Structure 1
């Protein structure tokens, strides 16, 4: 265990039980306890970074574009 994690655990011990449980759930989730952590390929990571940049720029599909895609999958 690193010194920083040890310090965090010692600090958390002084919190109310409900807060300790909240922290424990966050740590377990972050560590992939309930669901495995997804390892992205370099290409997937680049796609994700670009998608995040598009969102920050406000570049979203129009309603018509969304409808065009969805109509391909409707019976």
Structure 2
């Protein structure tokens, strides 16, 4: 580990938890890019489980909501 990274990680210990979580997310993304394997966080895993449970119950967003979301991604 480089001195710069070691120093930054030591400083990060004093950061607010939200910022530490952000740093961990960035590190997970880098690891996924390097290995091709993305490890979900507990929050992501819970969100996926909730979404699958809602889908199993037939709960889906309306076509209008999907159209509005698509508009945000148009160029």
Give the TM interval when normalised to the shorter protein: 0.3 to 0.5
TM-score, length basis structure 1: 0.47
Which has a greater percent of helix? 2
TM-score, reference length from structure 2: 0.47
Over alpha carbons, which structure has the higher Rg?
Answer: 1
